[in-house]
Amino acid sequence: MNITCSFIVIFLAGFVHACFQLSISVLTMINARGLGSKTSATKIDTLSTFFILGSSVMTFLILSTLLLTICYINENLITALDWSIICGLVAGVGLAIWLFYYRKNGTSIWIPRPFADFLGEKIKIAKRPMEAFVLGLTTVLGEILFVVAPISAASLAVLSLPSYFQPIGMIAYILMSSSSLFIIWLLITHGKSISKIQVWRENNKRFLQYVSGGVLIALSLFIFVNGVINI
Amino acid sequence: MIDTIVIKHGGKRPSEKFDITKLRNSILSICLCNRKTDGESETIAERVTKVVMKWAETKNEITTRDIRIVVYNELKKYSPDTAYLYKQHRAII
User: CA-based angle A167:A172:A178, to the nearest 5?
Assistant: 125
For range A161-181, the mean pLDDT: 95
Taking CB atoms and an 8 Å limit, are B81 and A193 in contact across chains?
A: yes
Q: Which of B75, B52, B72 is nearest to B6 (CA)?
A: B52
Banded pLDDT at B67 (limits 50, 70, 90)? very high
Residue ranges making up the domain that contains B40 = 5-91
Per-chain mean pLDDT for chain A: 92
Residue ranges making up the domain that contains A113 = 3-228
At what angle are helices A41-74 and A166-189 packed, to 10 degrees? Answer: 160
User: CA-based angle A20:B82:A33, to the nearest 5?
Assistant: 60
Provide, as residue numbers in chain A, all residues whose Cβ is less than 8 Å from the Cβ of B84. 195, 198-199
Backbone angles phi, psi at A39, to 5 degrees: -70, 145
> Would you give the DSSP letter of residue A227?
I
Across the interface, of B30, B34, B92, the residue whose CB is closest to A106 is B92
Taking CB atoms and an 8 Å limit, are B93 and A33 in contact across chains?
A: no
For range A30-53, the mean pLDDT: 93
With pLDDT > 70 as the criterion, what percentage of chain A qualifies? Answer: 100
Stronger pLDDT, B49 or B90, i.e. the higher one = B49
Q: Which helix (H) or strand (E) holds B17?
A: strand B16-17
pTM: 0.91
Taking CB atoms and an 8 Å limit, are B32 and A38 in contact across chains?
A: yes
SS3 content of chain A, % helix, strand, coil (to 5): 85, 0, 15
Least confident of A62-66, A178-182, B6-10, B40-44: B6-10
- Radius of gyration of chain A from its Cα atoms, rounded to whole angstroms: 18
pLDDT (tens digit per residue) in B14-64: 788 888 999 999 999 999 998 899 999 999 999 999 999 999 988 888 998
With pLDDT > 90 as the criterion, what percentage of chain A qualifies? Answer: 74
Banded pLDDT at B6 (limits 50, 70, 90)? confident
What is the distance between the alpha carbons of residues A134 and A136, in angstroms, rounded to a whole number?
Answer: 5
Q: How many domains does chain B have?
A: 1
Banded pLDDT at A231 (limits 50, 70, 90)? low
User: CA-based angle B83:A109:A217, to the nearest 5?
Assistant: 130
Strand pairing class (B5-7; B16-17) = antiparallel
What is the distance between the alpha carbons of residues A138 and A146, in angstroms, rounded to a whole number?
Answer: 14
CB of B72 within 8 Å of a chain A CB? The answer is: no
The dihedral over CA atoms of B85, A124, A29, A61, expressed in degrees to the nearest 10, equals -160
Q: How many domains does chain A have?
A: 1
